[in-house]
Amino acid sequence: MSRALVIGAGPAGLMAAEALADAGVAVVVAEAKPSPARKLLMAGKSGLNVTKAEPLPAFLTRFDADWLAPMLRAFGPDQVQAWCEALGQPVFTGSSARVFPTAMKASPLLRAWLARLEAKGVSLRTRWRWTGFAAEALRFDTPEGPQTLHPEVTVLALGGASWPRLGSDAVWVPWLAERGVQITPFGPANMGFHMHWSAHMAPHFGQPIKGACLIAGDQRERGEFVLSERGLEGGGIYSVSRALRLGAPLQLDLFPDHSAAQLRDRLARMKPGETAANRLRKLGLPPASVALVMEMARPLPAELAPLLKALPICHAGPRPLTEAISAAGGIAQGSLTGDLELRALPGIFACGEMLDWEAPTGGYLLTACWATGLWAGQAAARHLG
């Protein structure tokens, strides 16, 4: 039995540990926090979205990194669902094709997984914080004091830079960079956007904007988002957040199922002299959507139909990285072999959100973490072979 070390007990790290254990390798998992998979548990509080039940070619288009494709083909939506079922956690597919465990929460899935890992001989050590390298060894602060390990292979699964209070704090970046690993700077992904609201918007905070199509450059996405005191948040905004972060303007089509001509005809049949707000309500817009139109287009133009098909949203930039659901950036593809081994550090592999890739919410993030963890764990086992 060879010795392997996995640093980080999130979804990617635990999957890498299981792959190593399945290959007959003795595995130690070092986790800095008092318990594993804290970000997974937080994400699952409102329903754990494990993947998206859509054809694999469409699934792959949601990632900005083509080099992930072999990993996602090996462990994609179908494999995720089968994996959950094998843990005794049946899944169902919602109306949006998002897949959830029947139990909805992450905790039953995690408990079953940890029990299976323990049965396979995986050793989990919590409160073991990696503090960098000591020559070719790895240093840790532990409850028993400083420790130095010399594993034969190591899989790094330390997360990105979002939600640092749950463990993804990116303290590892300078340790790898000084050893020749190229790191793309981290930035927020799947995040909200600042808005400088007038006082008139306050009554609508917490209200959703439903049924709209968000337009960001060439990208069009149907989705729901929420007006908050801080700005715009929610799945619809997250789906176009990358394009917005890269500079694309944001517009809303508030009537994606109607043409401008149809709206113009409906408006023409209304009584002359009515206020613009009343005309918008008669079109079927809820109060929050009416308020958003009035906020973004003062004074309102005489011709409302084109505005309602392309309402410009003037935001004030993304919310900070610490509030983002995920992070863009990480270990650059050029610093990795096809096995996710670090070219500058033979025998050390990386996976999960440490890698430089980006995808929207909706099951894509979690699937890719599992897929890259499995890929790195299997490659580390072959390296020992």
Tens-digit pLDDT profile for residues 249-273: 999 999 999 999 999 999 999 988 8
pLDDT above 90 coverage of the chain, percent: 92
The residue out of 294, 313, 332 marking a domain boundary is 313
Residues 89 and 116 in one domain: yes
Residues 99 and 199 in one domain: no
pLDDT tens digits, residue range 142-182? 999 999 999 999 999 999 998 888 889 999 999 999 999 99
Question: What is the structure's pLDDT at 95?
Answer: 86
Q: What b/e sequence results for 111-129 when a residue is b if at least 16 CB atoms lie within 10 Å of its CB, and e otherwise? A: eebbebbeeeebebbeebe
CB atoms within 10 A of CB 16: 35
Residues 39 and 60 in one domain: yes
CATH number where 23 lies = 3.50.50.60
- In the three-class reduction of DSSP (H, G, I as helix; E, B as strand; rest coil), residue 344 is classed as coil
* Residue 302 CB contacts under 8 Å (≥ 6 apart), including other chains: none
List C-alpha distances in Å: 344 to 152, 334, 368: 16, 11, 24
pLDDT tens digits, residue range 174-231? 999 999 999 999 999 999 999 999 999 999 999 999 999 999 999 999 999 999 999 9
H-run or E-run covering 241: helix 241-245
Q: Band of the pLDDT at 2, cuts 50, 70, 90?
A: low
Number of domains comprising the chain:
2
Residues 180 and 197 in one domain: no
Residues 202 and 308 in one domain: yes
pLDDT tens digits, residue range 290-311? 999 999 998 888 899 999 999 9
Is the pLDDT at 1 greater than 50? The verdict is no
Question: What is the structure's pLDDT at 43?
Answer: 84
When pLDDT is averaged across residues 13-32 and rounded to a whole number, the result is 97
Supply the DSSP string of 251-320, one letter for each residue.
Answer: EEES-TTS-HHHHHHHHHTSPTT--HHHHHHHTT--HHHHHHHHHHSSSPPS-HHHHHHSEEE----BPP
The answer to whether 146 touches 139, Cβ cutoff 8 Å, is yes
Residues 128 and 273 in one domain: no
Residues 293 and 372 in one domain: no
Is the pLDDT at 78 greater than 70? The verdict is yes
Is the pLDDT at 335 greater than 90? The verdict is yes
The residue out of 259, 279, 313 marking a domain boundary is 313
pLDDT tens digits, residue range 42-69? 987 888 999 999 999 999 999 999 999 9
Q: Band of the pLDDT at 38, cuts 50, 70, 90?
A: very high
Residues 202 and 254 in one domain: yes
Residues 222 and 151 in one domain: no
The residue out of 313, 336, 355 marking a domain boundary is 313
Question: What is the structure's pLDDT at 23?
Answer: 96
The answer to whether 141 touches 150, Cβ cutoff 8 Å, is no
pLDDT above 70 coverage of the chain, percent: 99
When pLDDT is averaged across residues 58-87 and rounded to a whole number, the result is 97
On average, the pLDDT of the chain sits at 95
Rounded Cα gap, residues 311 and 290, in angstroms: 12
Residues 173 and 197 in one domain: no
Residues 167 and 56 in one domain: yes
Q: Is the peptide bond before 36 cis (omega within 30 degrees of 0)?
A: no
DSSP 323: G
What is the domain extent for residue 129?
3-188+321-384
Residues 201 and 161 in one domain: no
